[in-house]
Amino acid sequence: MQLKNDLLIRAAKGEAVERTPVWLMRQAGRILPEYRAVRESLSGFKELVETPELAAEVTIQPVDILGVDAAIIFSDILVVPEAMGCTYEMVEKRGPLFPKTIRTEQDMKSLRIADPHEHLHYVLDAIKVTKKALNGRVPLIGFAGAPWTILAYMVEGSGSKTFSHARGMLYTNPKLAHQLLRMITDTTIAYLQAQVEAGANLIQVFDSWAGILSPAQYRLFSLPYINEICNAINSVPVTVFAKGAFFALEDFATLNCETIGLDWNMEIKTARQQVGPNKTLQGNMDPCLLYSSFDTIQHETIKMLKEFGPQRHIANLGHGVYPDTDPEKVKCFIQTVKEYGATINS
């Protein structure tokens, strides 16, 4: 199906756009009262993720309500470890918890390389239902976690300030870490390819815990696996978003991907120099800007657009939107990109 709004895809590919496209990481979620209404009628987060019609509904909400230029499929990066045999619980107000962690060779025996059609069919179904309902209005983004970030959750068992068990494994048992990364990568490649087959128009890889590794370890334990994923996705553009990985921008320049996501710790001009002219940059507003006044939001957003320039930029925050953000402030950010993004392009 022909997309009616393909700004995101053209910007990703480096083709000319008449205005900068905009969407927000974590746009489908608790910022919207409409999301909370759906969520509260259910037993929990997983029921929403695993019911394709409901996942499709909340995926499309930000397109209708906020006016973003892309939808991102409502799911979570943690469905991958679950499909591999390591189930998670989403604990209210605390986040994910894995009752069983992967720390030894013995633990590894409980894992499999998942078949997306068998173990993640609900995501593929959600993509199909969403695509049909979107009817080409905007592109649909598919996603997965980067292998290192998934390993971090599987080994640690929950979120953590230090991820000391996960980082510790890289020193105490690097062989086991690589074995686990291998299984996660194989699962992720098949999963992302299946998402593309189901209709995803662009793929984003989230390396949320990139920034806790040293540059040397990042090059050993994360980049090679992201590289494999990029090489395996050929028919749609790929975005790599590695939070805190300012030290790896020159490495990202060599990846077989179209777009690099930046967080707000990264200087836009320096990032552009390090990545070079041949990639699109996505980002990178501090989500906390959206706590400020409408005037400040407009002013800072225009400043950001000027710094990135009119082409090869996808406007976004530097990480997911915080749940207590006023949707009107989110709309102000989006509207400013739409208005000002068009003037700098004319």
Ligand X SMILES: Cc1c2[nH]c(c1CCC(=O)O)Cc1[nH]c(c(CCC(=O)O)c1C)Cc1[nH]c(c(CCC(=O)O)c1C)Cc1[nH]c(c(C)c1CCC(=O)O)C2
Catalytic residue of the set 6, 19, 35, 153:
153
- Residue 207 annotated in active site: no
Q: Is 319 annotated as a binding residue?
A: yes
The pairing of beta strand 89-91 with beta strand 95-97: antiparallel
> Does residue 26 have an active-site annotation?
yes
The whole-angstrom separation of Cα 8 and Cα 185 is 26
The Cα 101–Cα 156 span in angstroms is: 7
- Segment 131-190, which members bind ligand X (CB under 6 A)? 143, 159
Q: Which stretch binds ligand X (CB under 6 A): 19-27, 175-183, 247-255, 303-311?
A: 19-27
Task: Tell me if 208 is assigned to a ligand binding site.
Answer: yes
Taking CB under 6 A as the rule, does residue 334 contact ligand X?
Answer: no
Which listed residue (3, 5, 30, 309) binds ligand X by CB under 6 A?
A: 30
137 labelled catalytic: no
Burial class (CB within 10 angstroms; exposed 0-12, middle 13-18, buried 19+) of 160: middle
- Only one of the segments 26-34, 102-110, 253-261, 332-340 lies at the binding site for ligand X (rule: CB under 6 A); that segment is 26-34
Give the contacts of 8 (CB within 8 A, at least 6 positions apart).
Answer: 21, 23, 69, 70, 138, 139, 141, 201, 202, 314
Taking the least distance from each CB to ligand X, the nearer of 130 and 340 is 130
Q: What tokens appear for 246 in the block? A: 């300012």
Q: Work out which of 90, 113, 232, 253 binds ligand X, going by CB under 6 A.
A: 90
Closest CA to 24 of 232, 297, 279: 297
313, β-bridge pairs: 281
* Helix, strand, or coil (residue 274): helix
Total residues binding ligand X (CB under 6 A): 22
Contact range with ligand X by CB under 6 A, out of 88-96, 125-133, 245-253, 334-342: 88-96
Residues recognised as catalytic: 26, 30, 39, 76, 153
Which residues bind to ligand X, rule: CB under 6 A? 25-30, 39, 45, 72, 74, 76-78, 90, 95-96, 143, 159, 206, 208, 243, 320
